[in-house]
Structure 1
Amino acid sequence: MIQKYRYLCALAKEKHFGRAAESCNVSQPTLSNGLRQLEEHLNVKLIDRKQKFIGLSPDGYTVLEYAKRILAEHENLKASLKAENEKLSGRLRLGVIPTALTYASHFIKKLNKKYPELRFTIESMSAPDLTRSLLDFELDLGISYVDTARSNALQTINLYQEEYHCLVHRDDISPGVSQISWADAAKYPLGLLTPNMQNRKLADAAFIEAGINIRPMIESNSLSNLVHNVKNGLGASIIPSQFFDINDHATDIVSLKLIDPVVSHGVGLLALDGEPSTHLSQAVVKLARQGLFNDQD
């Protein structure tokens, strides 16, 4: 029965029988037959179908919510049974906002050193998508902005404060300058993240506070792309200081602390608060509360 619930969750996510079957590593007839058996077992119609998938029925959506919880509890049970002498193993599914990907490497290094049998799946996603995936039991944990985790079902543990720097090409700034106002940064042709991304919204708010309405020359959903644009002389960019290692670009780029206003936002570990949180997520949250990830050596 567990597998049939997995089929239903896959179909709800993929919205296509073929893709759902592929994600479950079964044939399409196997998936379709499994879903019909689930309908017969529950004596309800789960799926609106003609020649192709139309959507879930109202009962289907009700069963889907239970199915997600059943699968999460099943994975939690397996992980708990494997737990021996406080040694963690298995695969930890971690969602990370793009600006925290560099920090995520430090986070994983700490866990790997303590529990070398752990395996990791890292997904870069926006803050809203990350929160949604946690609530849908598609992730064990997330690293995101703590002030966007507006759900009573989630708990947050602060990890660090995200601060902001302006990146400019060395040829475009006077020697010895170490900081710059948001208003002066706006005088450069700017490359910024796309408007749908939370970090861009934070930058826009800072520019507005400085009395500036900006029109970026370049918009990208990749921080790495923005850094390379600056390296190639394409204006300036606003980057979280934790993302950028100046030592990797010392001959080309200068990182200037942004002031007037000085802006920082908390980034933390997000997890489900209460059941059915996974055995792995519970253990990592406990380590975070004990301060394992506080220093970044």
Structure 2
Amino acid sequence: MQTRLLQYFLALEREGHFARAATACNVSQPTLSAGISALEAQLGKRLILRNRRYAGLTEEGRAILPWAQQLVAAADNLMQAAAVAKGPLQGELRLGAIPAAMPAVGPLVEALLERHPGLNISVRALTSRQIERELTAFELDAGLTYLDFEPPSHMLAAPLYVERYMLAAAKGVLDEGRTPSWEDVAALPLCLLHQGMQNRRILDARLGERGLALRPVVTADSYVALFALVRQGRLCSIVPDSHAMLLDGLDWVRTFALPEADEGSRIGVIVSDRAPLGPLAQAVLNIAREIPNIT
């Protein structure tokens, strides 16, 4: 069985559209359709529901999906292992990162490229749940996410740093000589990440232990959006201290250290716990274990 045919099948399931799947595979739509028909003929099963357009997978298609993902990933890792036996690590490394950990992407990627200059690195902003799901489906090589709260299962992990909170406000909104309490913060007009983001769920859980609840005026899924809202002067936000470096030198914003809500939240690299571990996943894990605290 040709892995190319399985790649067509996986691309169609992922994209949900014949033309987009063909583009992702760098082939024409007729070539992709013929390849999937050939795969169905080899298996003697109909895998795709068709009603003039893609309409999902059949029961047989859903049954073979995880096996197709494993076979394609194994073939990719086989090629990588052969290539790096006597040469440098090359290819595309796919990294998913939660928004809260985006400032750590710079030092991590820099360390990777210093060790493996032949790599191309693709970074995507994803939720913690998306990272775990895409690692399981072989669509990512590694993730950068929380390690302790809602801990990912069946993963190998390497801690990078501990995240703590800070309050961000426009210049002149708050008394800069006073450290606000959590009770003060809960009474402020806030903009925060929405509750689909793990950072927000951790924050809510920690403050819930103190009998406090946050009721933001605006929610978003991006720290860029939160900072843009803070800059207008009406709202404040609670953000990770790792973002402080991104605000250095900006005259419109002030940041305030907050009382420790807990011991902090560990953020680190995760890869799927599989044996053997693919060369790309192993490379990220090795770097994460070797570099010092990166915030």
TM-score (norm 2): 0.92
- Give, in angstroms, the shift of residue 84 of structure 1: 4.8
User: Contact 1:170 / 1:252 at 8 angstroms: preserved in 2?
Assistant: yes
In the alignment, the residues of structure 1 paired with residue 246 and residue 84 of structure 2 have an alpha-carbon distance, to the nearest angstrom, of 41
Q: CA deviation at 1:37?
A: 0.6
Name the CA distance, whole Å, in 2 between partners of 1:157 and 1:243: 21
Q: Which moved more, 1:6-15 or 1:86-95?
A: 86-95
Report what 2:110 is aligned to.
109
Q: Residue 269 of structure 1 aligns to a residue in which SS? A: strand
The answer as to 2:285 corresponding to 1:285 is yes
**CA offsets 1:8-31 (integer angstroms, 9 cap, x no match):** 101111222222222212222111
**Is the Cα–Cα contact under 8 Å of residues 69 and 137 in structure 1 kept in the other structure?**
yes
Once residues 36 and 110 of structure 1 are traced to their aligned partners in structure 2, the CA distance between those partners, rounded to angstroms, is 44
Q: Which residue number corresponds to residue 204 of structure 1?
A: 204
What is the correspondence of 1:45-60 to structure 2 with a 5 Å cutoff? Answer: 45-60=46-61
Measure how far apart 1:263 and its partner are: 5.3
What is residue 63 of structure 2 aligned with on the other side?
62
Distance 2:247 2:16 in 1: 46
- Does the CA-based 8 Å contact 2:111-2:287 persist in structure 1? no
- Tell me whether 159-168 or 249-258 shows the greater mean CA deviation: 249-258
CA deviations on 1:55-104 (whole Å, 9 max, x unpaired) are: 21222122221111111111111211221556322211000001111101
For 1:258, the aligned partner's letter is L
Match of 2:187 in 1: 187
Matching residue's letter, 1:218: V
Q: Which amino acid aligns with 1:296?
A: I
Could you say what secondary structure the match of 2:172 adopts?
helix
Look up the match of 1:235: 235
- Aligned partner letter, 1:55: G
- Work out which of the residue numbers 146, 151, 154 in structure 1 matches 2:153: 151
User: 2:68 & 2:99 partners in 1: Cα distance?
Assistant: 30
What letter corresponds to residue 34 of structure 1 in structure 2? G
Matches within 5 A, 1:249-264: 249-259=249-259, 261-262=261-262, 264=264
Aligned-partner Cα distance in 2 for 1:45–1:218:
47
What one-letter code is carried by the residue in structure 1 that aligns with 2:153?
S
Q: Is the 8 A contact 1:164 1:258 kept in 2?
A: yes
Tell which deviates more after alignment, 17-26 or 72-81. Answer: 17-26
Residues 247 and 59 of structure 1: is their aligned pair in 2 closer, same or farther, counting only changes over 3 Å? closer
Which of 284, 293, 296 is equivalent to 2:294? Answer: 296
Residue identity in the other structure for 1:269? V
For residue 180 of structure 1, give the secondary structure of its aligned residue in structure 2: coil
AA partner of residue 280 (structure 2): L
After the TM superposition, which residues 73-222 of structure 1 pair with which residues of structure 2 at under 5 Å, given as runs? Answer: 73-84=74-85, 87-147=88-148, 148-152=150-154, 154-177=155-178, 179-222=179-222
What do residues 88-129 of structure 1 show as CA deviations (whole Å, max 9, x unaligned)?
222110000011111011100111122221110000000001
Kindly, what percent of the aligned residue pairs are identical? 33
TM-score, normalised via structure 1 length:
0.92
CA distance in 2 between partners of 1:249 and 1:181 (Å): 25
How far is the alpha carbon of 1:220 from its aligned partner? 1.2
Q: Whole-Å Cα distance in 1 between the matches of residues 208 and 80 of structure 2?
A: 48
Alpha-carbon separation, structure 2, partners of 1:249 and 1:224: 17
Note if contact 2:46-2:60 (Cα within 8 Å) is conserved in structure 1: yes
Tell me how far apart the structure 1 counterparts of residues 276 and 139 of structure 2 sit (CA, whole Å): 12
Q: Which residue of 1 aligns with 2:23?
A: 22
Deviations 1:242-283 (A, max 9, x none): 123265344222211221634511111110112364211112
In structure 1, the gaps of 5 or more residues are none
Distance 2:117 2:260 in 1: 45
| Equivalent position SS for 1:171 | coil
Whole-Å separation in 2 of the counterparts to 1:21 and 1:139:
20
Q: Is the 8 A contact 1:166 1:258 kept in 2?
A: yes
Shift of 1:32: 1.0
SS at match of 1:93: strand
Given residue 169 of structure 2, which amino acid in structure 1 is its aligned partner?
A: V
Question: Alignment partner of 1:156: what SS?
Answer: strand
Matched pairs, number: 293
Alignment partners' CA distance in 1, 2:151 and 2:139: 16
Contact 2:94 2:123 in 1 (8 A): yes
Contact 1:106–1:296 (Cα < 8 Å) also in 2? yes
The more displaced of 220-229 and 84-93 is 84-93
Check conservation: 1:73, 1:276, Cα contact below 8 A. Answer: no
Task: Name the SS for the 2:180 alignment partner.
Answer: strand
